[in-house]
Amino acid sequence: MMHNLTANILSVCYLIGSISFIIGLKMLAHPDTARRGNQVSAAGMAIAIIATLILYQSDGMHLHNYAWIAGALVIGAVIGTVAARKVKMTAMPELVSIFNGMGGLCAALISIIEFSRLVPASPMLHILIIIAGLVIGSVSFSGSMVAYGKLSGKVKDHAFSWQRSFNLILLTVVLLLGALLIRGGLPVSATYIFYTLLVLSVSYGIMFVLPIGGADMPVVISLLNACTGIATACGGFLYNNPVMLTGGILVGSAGMILTIIMCKAMNRSLLNVLAGSFGATASNVVSGKEEAHKEISLSDAATAMAYAKKVMIVPGYGLAVAQAQNTCHELEKLLQEKGVEVKYAIHPVAGRMPGHMNVLLAEANVSYDLLLDMDQSNAEFPTTDIALILGANDVVNPAAEDDPKSPIYGMKILDVSFSKMVIVNKRTMKPGYAGIQNQLFSQPNTSMLFGDAKDILQKLITEIKAL
């Protein structure tokens, strides 16, 4: 009787945890409720963990090794808290990659442990879930670690002429070995095949991320995040744990939906992502020569914006590097006071991870209603007086539409050139993350405003106030 009561209470705790994940995810859809959504989800996870430690029983036995469990929880909590508090906004994508990779590694370790417990009579579905968790978790772990290296500048793009074919062959071998393990009746040791599968899965994760160019990294991060969610859901199936299953499904489905949306925005197919080498450059050299460009003074830029009817601000990684989001918001409010209509044009892959610019601007309390997606922005540019580019590069590069040889060719961009005037703020003429020159800078209606974004914005505010 007592065992049934304990099991029922545990089930209720798991239900509360699952519901909190769903509510939290819904609240993350809007900046006004995003912080509370994180807190709700965290509270649900805390309830699930505490309930498991106290109430979980298997074959009439409670959990043991509490010292090891407590130690792991404390170490993980300290590392996670310190890392999250100290990380700069510009390094957030790297942190996301590391955390995502750790999730994939945990899922793979679960599969390794559960494989060692298999018996000849184990159901085929059980084996399938173990293999799926191993493969997907390993790919997510190794791919995320390479993504971290590329985002932090520690790993360069590496590709060879038959990269796509090699990746597809490697993926096919992984799937075939997995199918053989599930089918059973192997002429060699299943353990040998299992660990071979582990090595090949890790190798595939490395090989499919290595050649991917900088402009496409947000898509890869989104896909790897989906993989971690799916692998976690496999662990939930293995342990019959509703919270783990629900969390994994939510992360996996949300990540996959986001991946598809971003692939559409980049004009890529999901097969391109899986095969790797899309958006990659054969070498890390800059393509194209630097063309003539003209500069604009601070006073002229300030005057043009102060007397414009509509200004579209296009934020990019340079804005994040300068930590200029609050200053940008101050400029926005000042222009609005002068009767200027101000909106923000957000490209799906601006920055280094999905939603990077949205998070950056939300941190500065920019109204969510002012953030326009790519299609909305492109409809506005023909009636825009000034497009102010703050540190964005590849997402406004006409080479994506005009140069078939460009590594970003085919990617949809923000059509800022349709504005009457384009002002581009950059530190230097150095190329963006994709490593190519930007044709926009030499167009007749484009003027360059060099300098640190925060410093330039502060000076623009001073000039506009003086008018």
What whole-number distance in Å separates Cα of residue 245 and Cα of residue 304? 55
Distance of CA 245 to the CA centre of its chain: 22
DSSP 390: E
Question: Which of 389, 392, 397, 391 is CA-nearest to residue 413?
Answer: 397
Compute the distance between CA of residue 160 and CA of residue 363 in angstroms, rounded to an integer.
41
* pLDDT (0 to 100) of residue 213: 67
C-beta of residue 374 within 8 angstroms of C-beta of residue 346 = yes
Which has the closest alpha carbon to 358: 81, 85, 31?
31
Q: Which residues contact 268 (CB under 8 A, 6 or more apart)?
A: 216, 219, 278, 279, 410, 411
* 394 has catalytic annotation: yes
223 touches 183 (CB < 8 A): no
- Report how far residue 316's alpha carbon sits from residue 347's, in angstroms, rounded to the nearest whole number: 9
- Token pair of 224, please? 């790897």
Residue in the block written with tokens 């059973």: 184
Contacts of 353 (CB under 8 A, 6+ apart): 92, 93, 96, 217, 218, 221
Encoded tokens for 37: 């959504």
Length of the chain: 467
pLDDT for the residue numbered 228: 94
Angstrom distance (rounded) from CA 427 to CA 419? 22
Place of tokens 């404390």: 74
The answer to whether 104 touches 144, Cβ cutoff 8 Å, is yes
- Residue linked to tokens 């384009």: 422
Q: What tokens appear for 223 in the block?
A: 């896909």
DSSP for 168-181? HHHHHHHHHHHHHH
pLDDT of residue 342: 95
Instruction: Tell me the CA distances in angstroms from 467 to 178, 302, 305, 459, one per residue in order.
Output: 70, 9, 11, 13
Q: Which residue is catalytic, options 373, 394, 452, 455?
A: 394
DSSP string, 433-467: TT-B--GGGGSTTEEEEES-HHHHHHHHHHHHHH-
Distance CA 444, CA 453 (A): 23
Tell me the pTM: 0.79
Low-confidence ranges of the chain (pLDDT < 50): 277-288
Closest by CA position to 275, among listed 105, 159, 355: 159
CA distances from 377 to 15, 23, 348, 363 (A): 42, 30, 12, 21
Give the whole-angstrom CA distance, residue 308 versus residue 306: 6
Instruction: Give residue 204's pLDDT.
Output: 93
From the list 377, 385, 421, the residue with the least C-alpha distance to 310 is: 385
Res 285: pLDDT:
42
> Could you give the 3-state DSSP secondary structure of residue 214?
helix
